[in-house]
Amino acid sequence: MRLVHTWAALLRKRLSPGHVALLERVSSLAGSRGEKVVLVGGSTRDLLLGRDVDELDLAIEGDAAGLAAQLAREFGGTPRVHGRFATARIDVAGGISADIATARRETYPSPAALPVIAPGTIEEDLGRRDFTINTLAMRLDPACFGVLLDPFGGVRDLRRGLVRVLHDRSFSDDPTRALRAVRLAARLGFSLEGRTRGLMEQAIHEGAFDLLSGDRLRRELDLLMDEMPLRLAAENLSRNGLLPAVADCLLLDAAAAGRLETLDEFLSREQNRRTGGSPVRRLLLFLAVLAWGRPEAQRTGLARRLGLSGESLRLLMGMPGRAAALGAAIRACGGVRSGVFFALEKAAVEEVIGAVAADAAAGPHVATYLDELAGVRPLIGGEELVGLGIGPGPAYGRVLRSILAARLDGQVSTREEEMALARRLIESGPRS
Do residues 234 and 321 share a domain? no
Residue 246 three-state SS: helix
Q: Does one domain contain both 251 and 229? A: no
CB 60 within 8 A of CB 100: yes
DSSP 3-state of 356: helix
E strand or H helix that includes residue 188: helix 176-188
What letter represents residue 153's amino acid? Answer: G
- Mark whether 77 and 90 lie in a shared domain: yes
> Are residues 329 and 412 located together in one domain of the fold?
no
Phi, psi of 357 (to 5 degrees): -70, -35
- Say what the alpha-carbon torsion angle 124, 125, 130, 135 is, to the nearest 10 degrees: -100
Query: Rounded to an integer, what distance in angstroms lies between the CA atom of residue 238 and that of residue 250?
Result: 9
Query: Which structural domain range is residue 407 located in?
Result: 382-428
Q: Which residue has the higher pLDDT, 383 or 45?
A: 45
Cα–Cα distance, 122 to 36 (Å, whole number): 8
Residue 430 has pLDDT above 60, yes or no: no
Do the beta carbons of residue 152 and residue 39 sit within 8 Å? no
What is the per-residue pLDDT across 324-363, written as a single tens digit (0 to 9) for each? 999 999 999 988 999 999 999 999 999 999 999 999 899 9
Q: Are residues 326 and 386 in the same domain?
A: no
* Domain CATH code at residue 341: 1.20.58
Predicted confidence (pLDDT) at residue 249 exceeds the cutoff of 70: yes
**What is the Cα–Cα distance from 369 to 400, expressed in whole angstroms?**
19
DSSP letter string over 60-124? ESS-HHHHHHHHHHHH----EEEGGGTEEEEEETTTEEEEEEE-EEEE-SSTTPPPEEEE--HHH
| Residue 123 falls inside a structural domain | yes
User: Rounded to an integer, what distance in angstroms lies between the CA atom of residue 271 and that of residue 392?
Assistant: 40
**What is the Cα–Cα distance from 88 to 63, expressed in whole angstroms?**
10
In contact, 181 and 134? CB cutoff 8 Å: no
Same domain, 186 and 319: no
With respect to residue 142, please indicate whether it lies within any of the assigned structural domains. yes
Q: What is the pLDDT of residue 386?
A: 78
Rounded Cα gap, residues 25 and 30, in angstroms: 8
| Cα angle value 199/202/207 (rounded, 5°) | 130
Instruction: Clarify whether residues 275 and 363 are in a common domain.
Output: yes
Establish if 375 belongs to a structural domain. no
* Residue 3, pLDDT score: 34
Q: Are residues 10 and 152 in the same domain?
A: yes
Is 238 inside any structural domain? yes
List Cα–Cα distances, 159 to 83, 132, 140, 153, in angstroms: 37, 12, 24, 10
Full-model pTM: 0.87
CA 270 from centroid of its chain's CA atoms: 17
Distance CA 331, CA 336 (A): 9
Tell me, what CATH number does 74's domain have? 3.30.460.10
Indicate whether 86 and 192 sit together in one domain: no
Instruction: Tell me the CATH number at 188.
Output: 1.10.110.30
| 376 domain-assigned | no
Residues 18 and 153 in one domain: yes
Q: Domain for residue 298, yes or no?
A: yes
Q: Which of 91, 126, 159 is the last residue of a domain?
A: 159
What confidence score (pLDDT) does residue 83 get? 67
Q: Are 209 and 272 contacting, i.e. CB atoms less than 8 angstroms apart?
A: no
pLDDT tens track for 27-48: 998 888 888 999 999 999 999 9
Tens-place pLDDT, residues 54-91: 889 999 998 888 888 888 888 888 888 876 667 889 88
Buried b / exposed e over 16-34, threshold 16 CB at 10 Å, is: eeebebbbeebbebbeebe
Q: Which residues pair with 139 in a beta bridge?
A: 38
Say how far apart CA 158 and CA 193 lie, in whole Å.
Answer: 12
User: Is residue 302 situated within a structural domain?
Assistant: yes
As a whole number of angstroms, the distance between CA 175 and CA 204 comes to 8
Check residue 137 and give its pLDDT. Answer: 94
Nearest Cα residue to 267 out of 235, 225, 236: 225
Band (157; pLDDT cuts 50, 70, 90)? very high
8 A C-beta contact, residue 250 and residue 243: yes
Q: Which pLDDT does position 276 carry in this prediction?
A: 47
Q: Does residue 374 form part of some domain?
A: no
- Alpha-carbon distance of 106 to 116, in angstroms, equals 6
Residues 121 and 7 in one domain: yes
**Same domain for 140 and 49:** yes
Tell me the per-residue pLDDT of 295-313, one tens digit each, with 9 for 90 and over.
999 999 999 999 999 999 9
Of 111, 142, 159, the one marking the end of a domain is: 159
Q: Which of 159, 183, 206 is the last residue of a domain?
A: 159
Q: For the chain, what is the domain count?
A: 4
